[in-house]
Structure 1
């Protein structure tokens, strides 16, 4: 069923044409991700389709009764209003709480993340305002949701929640989604179609981000695209999608044989052995070592409990955790910006650390300089696994070859971020720390930065809520949970399970002190030689070693049963979505089966929590 259409729409500014003769349509059931370079018109297209602005030419038509909910990049929440009134208006609590989807939104975006419903909007942080604006939109009933960068200010748990909410918001074949975001994991999770905005046109691709990458590479190959460098970059990213992210391989709708043929000669994204060898020659064997190190501010509760941790040459580590969990504090311990409150920190004598943070303060002093002037004052060559590169070659690798004559102040946000990374690399550090490096970057920019980092020979530490980026550029992940540093052999998925268990434990025992319900899963501690000392604790008083081992074994068995139940629930959800919606008897049977399985899973989780608490207390 057609919901929304654009016919020959065009929009121009004095210096360029943004859209020219674009015709497209949105049908019920469409979930459309919109991608393209910054400034190519993604948000403009969204604003035209949602009725926020009028095109210079052409027209936009909507089916009668179709409502569009539009999330802008900036909110218009009244500063004197409360969160409650902004999201649900003057509706009494018992009324909005009786609506399942509103209750889900309030819990998932607000109360579940510590935002008080009675808080004043003007007193909220930028991230809290963003969550409130998103909650206000999602609490409404809309035929079409148009979301412009909805994942900004959301951590990984929040992004996963949003993806799940969107997937279950409408029955199959109903509603429609338009989303602009740089979060490629989110795009792949929710999109069934992808629109690429480029050169005043819009190209449509079937499937999410992974399918889009394949089709784009194939399109470029067949046309012998002029942009050979970008073609190779996409081919490399496709190779990673197929080889390095197994969870995604079953999702794209394109032919797997075609994907394998395209990447048959493509090497792994990184030569890990060579990178570690080069890093060791530059760093020696020692980089950072925490020995019982802890961090606390004044008389406050410890931010990081006593921890043992070794960061070696060539390690590529992703550091995960909720906002305020202590990730930056841990980095400050490593770099010496913060002295430990207990224990000690050992740093290699040859360590040269550079930090790319969320701010652009380093560029303020050179705002009037031209890029070519900056490069002339810097190193003439930089060592990488691909050989020696000049500053100009690095500039090309980062997609900044056309800004040589530009002043720093005239760069876009994404260009400024890449220039900041370039200047950091030109100082030739051997330890690089990236703090939310993906801000203001489109998918092409991110791919270019990832490609460059693949050949950077040094120790890399990344703090980011961008799941795709973390999985793409790091080989090992750790998380700060409940003031403890935990190794994550299972990667981001394990972190999300631990974070969920921590939240469930806190909900089940609201009187428990902060940090006690830290989501520690029995038997899933850190790797040998890298365990947090705070995790090595005595079990329940009075438990013998044999009893403790028995409880630990039971907890692991139950955790495996929970995982199997989750897999079965996912399969049932897929069957429900694909089932004939007119077959009420069949739908009822599937729904009953799902309900029984969900109840069994809930019982298992309660049993697991009980065992966990006995082992931890």
Structure 2
């Protein structure tokens, strides 16, 4: 069943066509990745499909009664609304029914309550509240009464993502949904979208996400669109074949054009005396031959300042805020060539550690000792600093006129800009006109020009397209100095780091030898071993508490009664579960009432712990109830 169709759509800005003559369709169950370099018009394309802006040419049609959910890069809602009202301000009939149900309860309108109860039943809306709590909790949103206007950019994006998921649309369009999510949340979203019977169009640079979630790829490239029926790995293979074929066609056209040009020049100047069809064919050939071939990117190889034998020592370093310990007595001595990834949930202290290392903040205890030769290159999520009316080439020349390469050679800043995918024409664009990803790319380039020998990259992959990531990965893989990366991009981490600092909470940082995939395998093994130990313990307890006479001598199921000890255990479980439920309800009320950041985090953590305890107790109670 076709959900959405785009016929020959085009969009231009001024006299430049962003894309033209694109025909595209989405069928039920399609999960399509939209790929293209920064500036090719991916967000504009999504806005046209979502009906937010019209195309200059062509037409977009959405099947009748299909509900579309759209997550854009900068979501906006009423700044004064609490988060919970943003979530429920929805066209989703289930959310609307739940909201009217709560209003009827408050007002005490029995007639309205009777009507809404029937609607709640027909919509199967009774589990909506638990779904809201699950999705908000997974996305790290606990204070649902906080006003939307008080949230950071990342928090706003997570609220908007929660809203669009809870609307349960037939067609989801997501623009960079993994930005501002930690690794655990990205993996949860990946699993959620895989298990939902959702039709999806998504823009993301997370290559593992693309490979596991998407079954089709749509590429925007030089104003045209190319479709690939497969996942991201299939796309890479077929794209290479296409570029090789097109490069051969361009070479052929250029050779033929030389012959035709010679013929054109030898003919009489009067156009009418020449074969018109051959002149027209020459113009077409000229267009083909003037296309740019898919040459390999220039090697990005920047010189790094020499790094001495003494780099940085963290001597029992500790740091906390408002009574909460983020880093507890952490000890580490950096060595030459260290390539460290930093992972852990948001708010655990990852950025705090980076600021301690660079000296931006001081530790509460312990000492950070830095070598004299250490020169930091610190990339943060802060905005690019430039003046109004400043062009790209002008901003870069403020740092240097030439760039020294690792080989000892020097190149002009214009040539160096090309290595970071800024074409000669793009170098003269106004900085303020660049896309978000292009500004991030420029920010990285300016940092590298200063020849650092200790790179610290805090979420460098946000807003960068895949082509830019490939260039950056190639450079970082050959970087001779120390490297620290905070990133939610699992592929990026796997390519570049050889051990991790894992923030586990309560100030503990685990130094894990291996990349992120190695860590996930190790973690699954630990969890599996823990589950096995619990199962064996329960089995041993079951055998221990079962009278010898009651143990069946055959494989047939035999009924038995609970022992006195098991009856007592069952009664204690019931009492314990009731107590835990009361505590959980009280904590939820506290969360809803609001509090300080530390209180909210503490309450949310305790709720998770109680939920785990309840699950274990309920499982044991069910086991015992079979014999009751």
TM-score, normalized by the shorter chain, greater than 0.5: yes
Q: Is the 8 A contact 1:110 1:132 kept in 2?
A: no
- Give the drift of 1:110: 4.1
Unaligned residue ranges in structure 2 (runs of 5+): 89-95, 103-116, 251-290, 537-611, 621-628
Match of 2:163 in 1: 136
Q: By how many angstroms is 1:373 displaced?
A: 7.2
| Distance in structure 1 (CA, Å) of the matches to 2:133 and 2:295 | 43
Give the aligned partner of residue 462 of structure 1. Answer: 485
The answer to whether the 8 Å contact 1:69/1:146 transfers is yes
Q: Which residue of 2 aligns with 1:593?
A: none
SS in 1 for 2:29: coil
Call closer, same or farther: CA 1:300–1:364 in 2, change over 3 Å: farther
Partner of 1:293: 317
| Contact in 1 for aligned 2:386/2:395 (Cα 8 Å) | no
1:23 maps to 23
Counterpart contact for 1:30–1:177, Cα < 8 Å: yes
Distance in 1 between residues matched to 2:157 and 2:100, nearest whole Å: 22
For residues 417-471 of structure 1, give each alpha carbon's deviation from its aligned partner in whole angstroms, at most 9, with x where no partner exists: 2222222222211111112222332222222222222332211111222223222
Q: Is 1:215 paired with 2:238?
A: yes
Q: Within 2, Cα distance between the matches of 1:51 and 1:373?
A: 37
1:110, 1:117 within 8 Å by CA — same for their partners in 2?
no
Asked if structure 2 preserves the Cα contact closer than 8 Å seen for 1:111 and 1:117, the reply is: no
Match of 2:60 in 1: 60
Residues 108 and 158, structure 1, Cα contact 8 Å, conserved in 2: no
**Equivalent residue of 1:40, what SS?**
coil
* 1:46 lines up with 2:63 in the alignment: no
Q: Are residues 1:330 and 2:359 paired?
A: no
Match runs of 1:178-197 below 5 Å: 178-197=201-220
1:320 to 343, 348, 353: 343
Equivalent residue, structure 1, for 2:306: 282
Instruction: Output one character per residue of 1:561-617: Cα deviation in whole Å (capped at 9) or x when no partner.
Output: 9xxxxxxxxxxxxxxxxxxxxxxxxxxxxxxxxxxxxxxxx99x959xx9xxxxxxx
Residue number in structure 2 paired with 1:150: 177
What is the CA-CA distance between 1:52 and the residue it aligns to?
2.6
Counting only pairs closer than 5 Å after superposition, residues 80-91 of structure 1 correspond to structure 2 as 80-88=80-88, 89=96, 90-91=99-100
Equivalent residues of 1:110, 1:131 under 8 A apart: no
**Structure 1 residues 210 and 203: alpha-carbon distance in aligned structure 2, compared to 1, 3 A threshold:** same
Partner of 1:35: 35
1:113 alignment partner, SS class: coil
Shift of 1:370: 5.5
Which structure exhibits the higher relative contact order, with contacts defined as CA atoms closer than 8 Å and separated by 6 or more residues? Answer: 2
Match of 1:72?
A: 72
Structure 1 counterpart of 2:404: 382
The gaps in structure 1 that reach 5 residues or longer are: 237-268, 502-520, 523-552, 562-601, 611-617
1:121 aligns with 2:144: no
What is the 5 A alignment of 1:129-528? 129-170=156-197, 175-224=198-247, 232=296, 282-297=306-321, 300-361=323-384, 363-364=385-386, 368=390, 371=393, 374-375=396-397, 378=400, 380-384=402-406, 388-390=409-411, 391-402=413-424, 403-482=426-505, 483-489=507-513, 491-493=515-517
1:122 deviates by 2.9
Q: Residue 504 of structure 1 aligns with which residue?
A: none
The answer for the alignment partner of 1:526 in structure 2 is none
**Which shifted more, 346-355 or 93-102?**
93-102
Judged with a 3 Å threshold, the aligned counterparts in structure 2 of structure 1 residues 314 and 230 are, in CA distance, closer, same or farther, namely: farther
Shift of 1:112: 6.0
Matched residue of 1:132: which SS?
A: helix
What is the aligned partner in structure 1 of residue 562 from structure 2? none
Q: Distance in 1 between matches of 2:23 and 2:238?
A: 21
Supply the RMSD in Å over aligned alpha carbons.
3.9
Paired residues of 1:317 and 1:475 also in contact (CA < 8 A): yes
Name the CA distance, whole Å, in 2 between partners of 1:478 and 1:315: 12
Aligned residues: 473
* 3-state secondary structure, aligned to 1:303: strand
CA distance in structure 2 between the aligned counterparts of 1:39 and 1:338, rounded to whole angstroms: 37
**Change beyond 3 A, Cα 1:45–1:369:** closer
Q: Distance in 2 between matches of 1:163 and 1:57?
A: 35
After superposition, the Cα gap between the structure-2 partners of 1:111 and 1:212, relative to the gap in structure 1 and judged at 3 Å, is closer
The answer to whether the Cα contact below 8 Å between 1:430 and 1:458 also exists between their aligned partners in 2 is: yes
Q: How does 1:533-572 map to 2 (within 5 A)?
A: 555=530, 558=533
Whole-Å separation in 2 of the counterparts to 1:359 and 1:156:
21
> For 1:272-323, what per-residue CA distance to the aligned partner results, in whole angstroms no more than 9, with x for missing partners?
xxx9xx98x92233322212121234x6232210011122111121111222
How far the C-alpha of 1:196 sits from its partner, in A, is 0.4
Superposed displacement of residue 98, structure 1: 5.5
Q: Does the C-alpha gap of structure 1 residues 78 and 405 become closer, same or farther in structure 2, counting only changes over 3 Å?
A: closer
- Distance in 2 between residues matched to 1:75 and 1:161, nearest whole Å: 21
Change in Cα spacing, 1:26 to 1:560, as seen in structure 2 (3 Å) is: farther
Q: In 1, are the aligned partners of 2:247 and 2:294 still within 8 Å (CA)?
A: no
User: Residue 324 of structure 2: SS of its match in structure 1?
Assistant: coil
Query: Distance between the aligned counterparts of 1:366 and 1:19, measured in 2?
Result: 28
- Structure 2 CA distance for aligned equivalents of residues 84 and 41 of structure 1: 33
1:125-164 Cα deviation digits (max 9, x unpaired) = 3322222222121112322111122223222222212111
Tell me what 2:7 maps to: 7
Aligned to 2:471, the other structure's residue is in SS state helix
The answer to whether the 8 A contact 1:154-1:465 is kept is yes
